[in-house]
Amino acid sequence: MRADRLVAVLLLMQTRGRVTAAEVAAELEISVATARRDLEALGRAGVPVYPQPGRNGGWQLVGGARTDLTGLTAGEARALFLLAGPAAGGVPEGRSALRKLVRALPKTFRGDAEAAADSVVLDRAGWGAHAAAAPPLVAAVQDAVIRRDRLRLGYLRRGEQTSRVVDPWSLVDKDGIWYLVAGTDRGRRTFRLDRVTAVEPTGETFDRPADFDPTAAWRETVGAMERRRAAESATVLVAAHLVAVLEHQQGRHCTVIGPSGDGRVRVRITAPTPRMIAQQLAGWGTELEVVEPESVCAELARIGAELAARYRGTASSS
């Protein structure tokens, strides 16, 4: 778009001070005639630029004026590139955008910004795991979020194929899993993109609610999900030196209550069902003891009996 190109021309003049039409043409990959028209258009639009004729001439901002379109402070520039650098590392368009942003910064900021962009490596794969790939339809949904295009989604819910018409409001990447927060005829809903089987624009656009805050909406979604995941709880006794390991494994679903009086620590573990609590704790064997409820104890006994029946005699025969 010409507006984008004019901004790029102005940023180029800001970083170099004086440019020729040929330099602008080479930098922006346009013809010299187009570059000259763009420079003249800036002057007509009121930007203080003027041509200098002669062998060493060119176009320059009046009085050496500097137009800082970024408005960034040095600290803000470093913070921006610390975030943007690792995120853009594997995307050619992202690397290209960072190079252009660097050129747009005041000269005194550029060194720190470039260093910040190369100082962080983003590795989302856990130890022993592969990094999760983005769902194949995420780009199409992202375009719809930006353009405010209403969509018809093919969606798998509990194994059943359904069709949903949604207003895509925002996207969330949570630990490698992508979610779409959308408006529907039943209110705000959240969809996992790895369950989306088809994306079809309806040809209609929408206005996102003026009071919609993507961060606050996602925080509410996470809170509701965690409450559902914590519907059942069990009280567990575990050796003090293993508490940190249990907390790391269970995350926010592990709450330390306090010492039990026998050298162990009392901990609360939560999950959607007693069976799921038992499944998560079964691998600990006798390293911990479930005190209550009886339903979790019964599930552990069932799992133990099934394992014993499956592998009875295996150790002696080997």
In this structure, the answer to whether residues 223 and 255 fall within a common structural domain is no
98 C-beta neighbours (distance < 10 Å), count: 21
Structural domains of the chain, count: 4
Which residue, among 126, 128, 104, has the nearest Cα to 10 in the 3D structure? 104
| Residue pair 179/191 in contact by the 8 Å Cβ criterion | yes
Please check whether residue 172 lies inside any domain of the structure. Answer: yes
- Which residue segment(s) compose the domain that 31 sits in? 2-64
pTM: 0.59
Please check whether residue 165 lies inside any domain of the structure. Answer: yes
Please check whether residue 316 lies inside any domain of the structure. Answer: no
Q: What is the mean pLDDT of residues 231-241?
A: 95
pLDDT in tens, 113-122: 777 777 766 6
Please check whether residue 182 lies inside any domain of the structure. Answer: yes
In this structure, the answer to whether residues 148 and 189 fall within a common structural domain is yes
In this structure, the answer to whether residues 245 and 270 fall within a common structural domain is yes
| Residue pair 232/273 in contact by the 8 Å Cβ criterion | yes
In this structure, the answer to whether residues 234 and 218 fall within a common structural domain is no
CA distance 119 to 82: 7
Please check whether residue 122 lies inside any domain of the structure. Answer: no
What is the phi-psi region of residue 96: left when phi exceeds 0, alpha when psi lies from -120 to 50, beta otherwise?
Answer: alpha
Which of these three, 191, 207, 227, is where a domain ends? 227
In this structure, the answer to whether residues 197 and 265 fall within a common structural domain is no
**Is 65's pLDDT higher than 60?**
no
pLDDT in tens, 28-62: 888 888 888 888 887 777 777 778 776 667 888 76
In this structure, the answer to whether residues 47 and 108 fall within a common structural domain is no
Which of these three, 182, 211, 227, is where a domain ends? 227
What pLDDT score does 1 carry? 44
In this structure, the answer to whether residues 86 and 163 fall within a common structural domain is no
Please check whether residue 123 lies inside any domain of the structure. Answer: no
Confidence of residue 280 (pLDDT cuts 50, 70, 90): very high
Please check whether residue 280 lies inside any domain of the structure. Answer: yes
Which of these three, 227, 256, 279, is where a domain ends? 227
Please check whether residue 16 lies inside any domain of the structure. Answer: yes
Which CATH number covers residue 53? 1.10.10.10
Which CATH number covers residue 185? 2.30.30.520
pLDDT in tens, 192-225: 999 999 999 999 999 999 999 999 999 999 988 8
